[in-house]
Amino acid sequence: MRTTETRVAIAGAAVVGVAFGMGRFCFGLTLPDLRVDPGLSTTGVPEAVLGLIAGGTFAGFLAGIVGAPLLAARRGPRTPTTVGGVCGALGALIVVLAPSPGVLAVGAVLAGSAAGWVWAPYSDLAAALVARERRPRLLSIISTGTCGGLVLVAIVAVAAATTWRAAWAAVAVCSTLAALLNLRWVPAVPPTPVADRRPMPWRALRAPALYAIVYQAGTAVAFTYSADVATRAGLSAGVRPLLFVIIGVLGLAGLFTGAMTARIGPPRVAACCLLTIGVALLLLALGERSPVIALLAAVVFAAPYMVGAATLAVWTGSVATSDPGRALSAAMVVGALGAVGAPIVVGSLVTALGLPVLLAAFGLLCGVVGVGLVRSRST
C-alpha cells in the first residue's frame, strides 16, 4: 500500500472499529448486568424498556446515516467521521454517569449514532484517494476494523467484570483517540460539486437495500441478545465476552471480501452471508440449552457478519461508481429500519413467545432472503 492509502486504512479501521465494535454493540454485551443494576433501577430495568433502548441505539445509527451525506456534501467526507468520534465519546461518557434508564438511553443512542456517521464517508474518501481497482481492498480493511473493536471491548469487560460502566468508559476513551488519529492521518477532501454528480441508479440499488434490511435486522438481534443467551446457558460474566472475542478474531475473514466479491460477485457473497447468519441465529435459539451451542453460534456468525458488512460497501460502490458514499448511505438508511425494528419486536414479544422462538424466526428470515438472492442472480 502507498503511504496515504495505508494511513487511511489504519485510521479508518480504528474509527470504524471503535464505532461499530465498541460503541454500537457495547449495550448488548453489558445488557445482562445493567438489567439488574440497582444504580439504574431498584426493581430492575423491564425487558420492554431494554428492547426500546436497543432499538434506540440503532435509531441513532439511522440518524447518523442520514446526517453523514448531508454534512459531507457541505464540508467533505472526513467531517462526518469526526462528528462520529465526538458522538461516540460523549454518548459513552453519558452512559458511564447515567443514574437512570432514561439517561442511559440518551447516552446509548448518541454512542450508537457514531457508527452511522463514520461508515459511508470512507467510500467517498476511498474514491477520492485510491485507484478504483484498489478500493475494494481498502474498504474491506476499514470495515474489518470492527473486529479489533469487538476484541477490545470484550477484554475491557473481562478486566472490569465488577462494573459494566468500565466497558463504556473504554468506549469513550477509544472514541477520542481514534478521532484524533483520523484527523491527523486522513486528508481533508473537498465535497463533490452537485453539478458533477450523476443520477443515482435507484433501480440497481433495490437488491443491496433488501439485503441491508435483513442483514441489519439479523445482526442487530444477534448482538443484542447473544450475551443474554450465553448467561442463560450458564456462562459467567467473566466468560461471556468470549463471544465477542470469537466474532472479532474469526471476523478477520472480512479482509478477504475484496477477493471474494471479485471472484463470484457481491450479490452471491451477500447471499452466502445471509444464509450463514441464519444458521447462526438458529444455533443461538438453541443456545440456552448448552454453552457449547452458544459459543458455536458465535463461531458461525463471525465471518458472515464482517464479510457481509464489507460486501455492502463494495456492492453499492460497484453500482454507483461516481457517488459510492451516497449509494451506501441510501442502502444503509433502508437497512437501518431492520436494525431499529428488530430489537423492538423482540423486546415486545419475548415475554409472550420466548427468546428462542424469535431468534429462530429471524434466522429463517435471513435464510429465505439469502436463497432468494441466489435464485434471482441465477435466473
Looking up residue 82, the CATH number of its domain turns out to be 1.20.1250.20
Grid coordinates given for 229: 443467551
Q: Above 80 in pLDDT, residue 86?
A: yes
Range picked from 45-54, 208-217, 287-296, 318-327 for highest mean pLDDT:
208-217
CA 251 to chain centre: 12
Residues 6+ apart with CB under 8 A from 301: 222, 247, 276, 277, 280, 281, 284
Cα–Cα distance between 269 and 82 in angstroms, integer? Answer: 31
User: Is position 195 within any domain?
Assistant: no
Residues 6+ apart with CB under 8 A from 176: 85, 89
Band (379; pLDDT cuts 50, 70, 90): very low
Cα–Cα distance between 63 and 111 in angstroms, integer? Answer: 11
Mean pLDDT, residues 172-190:
93
pLDDT tens-place string over residues 97-121: 999 999 999 999 999 999 989 988 9
- Least confident range of 60-69, 196-205, 354-363: 196-205
Give yes or no for a contact between 110 and 168, defined as CB atoms under 8 angstroms apart.
no
User: Is position 193 within any domain?
Assistant: no
The predicted pLDDT at position 288 comes to 85
Q: Above 80 in pLDDT, residue 146?
A: yes
The parent domain of residue 71 ranges over: 3-188+200-378
Mean pLDDT, residues 301-322:
88
Q: Above 80 in pLDDT, residue 236?
A: no
The predicted pLDDT at position 157 comes to 72
User: Is position 312 within any domain?
Assistant: yes
Give yes or no for a contact between 305 and 277, defined as CB atoms under 8 angstroms apart.
yes
Q: Count the domains in the chain.
A: 1
Residues 6+ apart with CB under 8 A from 2: none
User: Is position 21 within any domain?
Assistant: yes
Band (2; pLDDT cuts 50, 70, 90): low
Burial class (CB in 10 A: 0-12, 13-18, 19+), 198: exposed
Q: Above 90 in pLDDT, residue 325?
A: no
User: Is position 194 within any domain?
Assistant: no
Q: Above 60 in pLDDT, residue 195?
A: no
